[in-house]
Structure 1
Amino acid sequence: MANLEKLPVTVITGFLGSGKTTLISHLMRNPGGKRLAVVVNEFGEFGVDGDILKGCAIPECPAENIVELANGCICCTVADDFIPTIETLMALDPRPDHILIETSGLALPKPLLRAFDWPAIRSRITVDGVIALADAEAVAAGRFAPDVAAVDRQRLADDSIDHETPLSEVFGDQVSCADIVLLTKPDLAGPNGVARAREVILAEAPRALPIIEVAEGAVDPRVILGLGAAAEDDLAARPSHHDGADDHEHDDFASVVIDIPEIHDPAPLVERIEGLAREQNILRVKGHVAVTGKPMRLLVQAVGARVRHQFDRAWRPDEARQGRLVVIGEHHDIDAQAIRALLLPQPLDA
């Protein structure tokens, strides 16, 4: 007999580097008795997060239940990507109990919610909740706030100017669409930073929202799964900067993929990535590199000038020991030639 109960979906949103993949990895290891499936939507042609999550696959969330959609926004390619992916996951045997969707860090969640009204799936699936992750340190530092002084100067010259920065708009839309906000990396922010981040989020939110501190993605699945929000039927309560528009823009941000030759020491590469943040205002760098004499792949993750790296898995026999990094920033800051010059001085480890 067919299962007529709607399949719950949790949309996990949050800016670049806020910890979405870490959260999903934790949920996969601690599913609360649920059989999970995961959809990962990456910004840019080179995906990293799907491979990380497949490395965490367990019987409750096997590798075939993890789908990566790179180089596009799933809410902009509903018929071609989103609907077929969801239908494939719903047709799995056994069927998942819950689907997690990790949006791109630059995605606006509300257009994705509208996609759940697509006739092919709207009677079979529901948005259980929207979980927004916010990097406490970045929020407290004002990284997502508009440059008020700059906007004021522009307004003096042109009264029609009344806008926020692309970063603040994305952050505002993600918070406004959320049912719960997870405040990540509280250890880096410290008590004062956490308090400031809470103030910023509450000021941005259009309604009262629970804000929960979470370190390394460790949250009880019962807190964020099973909310029953039916968010697709509650769009009016989730305002967006892009309400009323027929489309939403992705032109504010861009990415470039850099091939990295094998290195001898990660330290110089880390310094160069830090330099990208300072000199090119780069928002995010992620990918992997090969280190001479090391059989494992080095995973590199950077948010601004904050760089982390660790060996995550062995190089497979069928893959070349070739490193690749995706660099993401605002469109006017992405100068591929300048980025390559900063990231790849010759020789790399000189």
Structure 2
Amino acid sequence: MNSLRKIPATVITGFLGAGKTTLVRHLMEQANGKRIALIINEFGDLGVDREILAACGVEGCTEDTIIELANGCICCTVADEFLPTMDALLNRADPPDHIVIETSGLALPKPLVKAFHWPEIRHRVTVDGVIAVIDANATAAGRFADDPEAVQAMREADDSLDHDNPLEEVFTDQLLCADMVVLNKADLLDDAGLAALETALKAQVRPGVHLVPTAYGKIDPAVLLGLDKAAEDDLDARPSHHDGDDEHDHEDFETFFIDLGPVEDLDALEARLLTAINEHDILRIKGFLDVPGKAMRHLVQAVGPRLDHYYDRPWKADEQRASRLVVIGLHGLDRDAITARIRGLAPVAAL
């Protein structure tokens, strides 16, 4: 009964490009008057995900309800960033009905859940549930599968299926901590592919964890919110590759920014982005573009070879128009070559 007096918090985790922000936006669109506060942790400080949500035009989804933590991985900066943020939220005159925390794709969920035992918040908020969002199509292709033998019907052995691969550890830890796994982009799989994926994942998640297929993050909020799991109270049942570690680092990942001038030819830029992604195995590119003659800002998001772009909102009167992209990948990215390719200073290979 004590947990019923606490404000519920839902932790949404998932690898880069799984569709977490799209899912959160759908939750806000279907909030039906419930006051939801968002805490967003991004890898890199461009603030793209926060801007996407703040510009969505959904009632209740305003800048003062969205808090961005951009100074590092949320699971590594709990004391310095997350706890003060939670304390400020809880001390508002009109506190939220529910808190949704969207972690970066590189965050381990268990250290974050453990933070809910801290005295500052333990009696006022509880982890209603941990939701792991996965890219069903990419996972079915074996890119982040934990056991190659379990998914051999979906893809032949691949170098990325190395148990020592840090991407694998992050992915597996997210699954093992989850109370529910959302199989986003399930529409890209046929029935047999989806069934095979579900079979493989059921062997990896904890008993009783439900797998929910969806597309474009469209899922009834009642399915995700109100799980009442009090996840902070059963940490021992959520194993992790990093149990016993005081901390972890992300030296295997890196991020950098590319500033561009006004972009006259969006098609040419798209071709250069796709070429750079293919040549350098870039995990994620996202950012905003200044298109001359257009009153609206142009948003770009790329996950592997999939690239989306659209005008998201008008430029503000006091806002400097600029084009800036953030590039995320494994450590060792050739920054000069990638920058030259995207800026059009290197020839574009045929796609």
TM-score (norm 1): 0.90
Aligned amino acid, residue 340 of structure 1: T
Aligned: 1:278 with 2:278: yes
| Equivalent residue number for residue 152 of structure 2 | none
Cα deviation code 1:226-258 (max 9, x no counterpart)? 110000111111111111111112111111111
Cα deviation code 1:147-196 (max 9, x no counterpart)? 976879xxxxxxxxx94312211111111110011111112233333223
**Alpha-carbon contact 1:256-1:328 (below 8 Å) kept:** yes
| Equivalent residue number for residue 228 of structure 2 | 228
Aligned: 1:191 with 2:221: no
Give percent identity, aligned residues only. Answer: 54
Cα distance, 1:298–1:192 mapped onto 2, change above 3 Å: farther
| Equivalent residue number for residue 27 of structure 1 | 27
**Alpha-carbon contact 2:18-2:134 (below 8 Å) kept:** yes
Q: Distance in 2 between matches of 1:19 and 1:93?
A: 32
| Equivalent residue number for residue 165 of structure 2 | 165
1:277 offset after TM fit, Å?
Answer: 2.2
**Alpha-carbon contact 1:65-1:89 (below 8 Å) kept:** no
Mapping of 1:101-180 within 5 angstroms?
Answer: 101-145=101-145, 163-180=163-180
| Equivalent residue number for residue 306 of structure 1 | 306
**Alpha-carbon contact 1:275-1:305 (below 8 Å) kept:** no
Q: Distance in 1 between matches of 2:165 and 2:133?
A: 19
Aligned amino acid, residue 341 of structure 1: A
| Equivalent residue number for residue 339 of structure 2 | 340
Cα deviation code 1:60-95 (max 9, x no counterpart)? 343211101113122322222111111111122321
Cα distance, 1:99–1:146 mapped onto 2, change above 3 Å: closer
Aligned: 1:252 with 2:252: yes
| Equivalent residue number for residue 158 of structure 1 | none
Cα deviation code 1:195-222 (max 9, x no counterpart)? 2332332222132421111112211111
Q: Distance in 1 between matches of 2:255 and 2:146?
A: 22
Between 229-238 and 192-201, the greater mean CA deviation after superposition = 192-201
Q: Distance in 1 between matches of 2:5 and 2:146?
A: 44
Aligned amino acid, residue 7 of structure 1: I
Aligned: 1:213 with 2:213: yes
Cα distance, 1:54–1:217 mapped onto 2, change above 3 Å: same
Cα distance, 1:347–1:73 mapped onto 2, change above 3 Å: closer
Q: Distance in 1 between matches of 2:75 and 2:63?
A: 23
| Equivalent residue number for residue 156 of structure 1 | none
Q: Distance in 1 between matches of 2:238 and 2:210?
A: 15
Q: Distance in 1 between matches of 2:93 and 2:63?
A: 14
3-state SS of paired residue (2:273)? helix
Q: Distance in 1 between matches of 2:16 and 2:179?
A: 19
| Equivalent residue number for residue 86 of structure 2 | 86
Cα distance, 1:200–1:227 mapped onto 2, change above 3 Å: same
Aligned amino acid, residue 186 of structure 1: A
**Alpha-carbon contact 2:263-2:323 (below 8 Å) kept:** no
5+ unaligned residues in a row in structure 2: which ranges? 149-156
TM-score (norm 2): 0.90
1:348 offset after TM fit, Å?
Answer: 10
Cα distance, 1:338–1:200 mapped onto 2, change above 3 Å: farther
3-state SS of paired residue (1:116)? helix
Cα deviation code 1:323-348 (max 9, x no counterpart)? 1111111113x221121022112499
3-state SS of paired residue (2:68)? strand
Cα distance, 1:12–1:317 mapped onto 2, change above 3 Å: same
Superposition CA RMSD, Å: 2.3
Between 247-256 and 200-209, the greater mean CA deviation after superposition = 200-209
Q: Distance in 1 between matches of 2:246 and 2:79?
A: 16
5+ unaligned residues in a row in structure 1: which ranges? 153-161
